Structure 1
Amino acid sequence: MSDDYAGDDLTGLSDSLGELYEKLSEEDDSPADPFAPAPVDPDWQIKPMVLTMVPLLAALSVLQMVSGSVLETFEEVLLTNPALLILVPVQIGTAGNLGSILCSRLSTQLHLGTFEFAVDNPAIRSNSGAVLGLGVTVFALVGVAAWAIGRALGGTLGLVEVLTISLISGTLLAVFVVVVSLVAVSTSYRLGYNPDDTTIPVVTNVCDITGVLILFAVITVVL
């Protein structure tokens, strides 16, 4: 009796293997074309990118107009002191560059799965510290250069005054850049947007108007 059961099991196994072999034989076993285009990642499709970026860029353009209005308010002060006039584009441009660097690094960590929005995260602390250190160094050099050019153009502000304005406003702006970059990357991810598309435009434009406000607030206090 046991031999009969064993024979039935072997027969069933043989039939199953035969059916599997037939199915595999029916499948297309032609080699894949190495030059065939790869499927497009949804994040790289044109329509989602346009639908995301058009409203965002429109809102950021309004912020740029506000920044221009603030500059017009302090036109007399800037024309009187060439060193301060030189500081304006350099300050906001440097802040935007620092924000772009930090956003790029944080977005890379996010795509690699190593980004964690926490103060005790070593990666966030090291990147933030590097941006702050870089900002202090660059803004100190910017202050000296702005003073030298301002003096050559007939300005009367001293080196200490220009350097103080550049360092204080630049340091405050660098801290703001770190905070905004972290919030922008985290918020973009939570809302389901690609941080590569959204974070750098947001940070650079927000830093433009904030940089102008911080700079003139410091100028008002120092002078």
Structure 2
Amino acid sequence: DSDDYISNNMILNLVNGIKKKGADACIGGFVKIDGDEREIFTEKYNDIFLNKNILEHTFIKMLGNLPNSHDSIKMSVWGCLFSTNLIKENDIYFKSERVYISEDIVWDSYFYDYAKSVQFINKSGYFYRLNNNSLTTSYKKERFTKSIFLYEKLEERIKKLNKYSDEALLRAQKQLLINVKACVVQENVNNIFNSIKNIKRIVNNSKLRIILNEYPIQKLPFKPKIFAKLVLNRNILILSVISRLSI
């Protein structure tokens, strides 16, 4: 991303991680910073080499957290190094960012299906800038539509992989709820009438309603639980107020 940067030794650390045991991929952590480059959050992983159950320990955790857990792995590819041979041999390529709101996780679903080994390193060399004016946080009219489309693609991939599908779907669904909240919150830039109209479209979406009716909302932490219930119960006015409070 144009407003991010990496440390001087990030690539070297990833290369050394690959060299340890010849892994197909090396995954490092990241540092989230604000516009003044002050550290907000650092994510680091333990030094672990995996040569079995790759989907279970990488891709599925990249889908998001379980309802009452926080063990996800960042799905973004910018903190990783990948085997070019594996990519070429299996014809793996990125889908268009214009089609998917998060093309990285779609890529992950293919790459880690083929990967035989993965190395995690206890280094965080990527600096992700949290900027309210950036491309990833600005208002997007089609954000909700693309979020649903992405979920449906992931649901299709999960069922096709037929690996740990129950857990994987729960993780993907929680991430969808996070994306839905972002869609609601971004409505604070619109006037109240347009906000209500757009939020009404969100809460009445048939796919989202099917998911919420089956999802274990009671297992969520307090704030996500309240938000999910508001969406499920179609409390449009309250959600519109929440979008203005950005909570």
Normalising by structure 2, we get a TM-score of 0.27
More helix by share: 1
Larger radius of gyration: 1
Query: Comparing both chains, which one has the higher relative contact order based on Cα–Cα distances under 8 Å and sequence gaps of 6 or more?
Result: 1
More strand by share: 2
Normalising by structure 1, we get a TM-score of 0.29
